[in-house]
């Protein structure tokens, strides 16, 4: 059984920020992008401690119909699809089922982006240091999609910072970014992000919007 490492996502963010502050990262106009929903409160603490901007990067895993908690890939706002081809060999889905899953998830990505961002465009990442956060990485494919999406925006560097990851996810992500920071890598065969948290409640859209609005206000006051 995995050991509980964090009280909640706020505690995870604080522990992550402490490690980030000790690193010599040479950040240039940094921005933290939290993957909703759980990566946003983690990212908010990191952004607050580093004194930088917080935003969200809306994308979603494509769930396996028989096991919705698990995903066989992810899709981004620009409809870039990253598939876990190795996993797809075992889930026995038809081409039509995969395409239907992609379309349904993409509609949810568009809905969430409108709720979280409204008419505000996605931030300009060119020549900026991007810190991507989530509350944990199971397969890593959602984070991989976020990396690919951000890479196309020509940032100065991409850093992934997460509290916990499976060993396979860590291996997948580390080679894709300039810096990979993870507090705990699990080698357990049965991996669940929630098992590392004492409290791991589902988050609602309203909570994400509130965090983003408060972070925006915080940066606005800082720049006065």
Per the model's pLDDT, the better-predicted residue between 65 and 112 turns out to be 112
One of 3.40.50.2020, 3.20.20.70, 3.40.50.150, 3.30.1200.10 is the CATH number of 9-59+124-222, namely 3.40.50.2020
Examine residue 37 and say whether the peptide bond preceding it is cis (omega within 30 degrees of 0). yes
- Residue of 73 and 68 predicted with greater confidence: 73
- Is residue 130 a contact partner of residue 33, using CB atoms and an 8 Å limit? yes
**Contact, 163 vs 184, CB < 8 A?**
yes
**Contacts with 184 (C-beta within 8 Å, 6 or more apart), sequence order:** 5, 163, 164, 165, 196
What is the per-residue pLDDT across 129-169, written as a single tens digit (0 to 9) for each?
999 999 999 989 999 999 999 999 999 999 999 999 999 99
Report the chain's mean pLDDT, rounded to a whole number.
93
pLDDT band (50, 70, 90) for residue 86: confident
Q: In the chain, pLDDT over 90 holds for what percent of residues?
A: 79
| pLDDT of 224 higher than 60 | no
- Predicted local confidence at residue 1, as pLDDT: 57
- Residue 90 confidence (pLDDT): 85
pLDDT of residue 45: 97
Please, which pLDDT band fits residue 16 given cuts at 50, 70 and 90?
A: very high
Q: Where does the pLDDT of residue 223 fall: very low under 50, low under 70, confident under 90, or very high at 90 and above?
A: low
Per domain, the residue ranges of the chain are 9-59+124-222
**Apex 41 CA angle, 166 and 175, nearest 5:** 35
Structure confidence at residue 213 (pLDDT): 94
Average pLDDT over residues 87-101: 90
Higher pLDDT, 46 or 69: 46
Q: How far apart are CA 111 and CA 116, in angstroms?
A: 9
């Amino acid at each position: 059984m995995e050991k509980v490492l964090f009280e909640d996502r706020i505690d995870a963010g604080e522990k992550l920020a402490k490690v980030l502050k000790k690193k010599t990262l040479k950040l240039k106009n940094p921005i933290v992008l939290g993957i909703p929903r759980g990566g946003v409160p983690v990212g908010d603490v990191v952004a607050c401690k580093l004194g930088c901007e917080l935003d969200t990067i809306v994308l979603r895993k494509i769930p396996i119909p028989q096991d919705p908690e698990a995903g066989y890939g992810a899709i981004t706002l620009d409809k870039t699809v990253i598939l876990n081809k190795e996993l797809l060999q075992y889930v026995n889905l038809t081409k039509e089922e995969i395409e239907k899953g992609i379309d349904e998830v993409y509609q949810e990505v568009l809905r969430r982006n409108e709720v979280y961002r409204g008419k505000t465009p996605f931030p300009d990442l060119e020549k900026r240091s991007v810190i991507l956060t989530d509350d944990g990485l199971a397969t890593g494919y959602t984070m991989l999609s976020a990396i690919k999406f951000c890479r196309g925006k020509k940032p100065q560097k991409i850093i992934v910072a997460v509290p916990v990851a499976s060993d396979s996810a860590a291996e997948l992500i580390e080679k894709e970014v300039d810096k990979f920071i993870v507090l705990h890598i699990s080698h357990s065969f049965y991996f669940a992000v929630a098992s590392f948290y004492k409290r791991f409640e589902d988050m609602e859209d309203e909570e994400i919007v509130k965090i983003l609005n408060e972070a925006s206000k915080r940066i606005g006051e800082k720049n006065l």
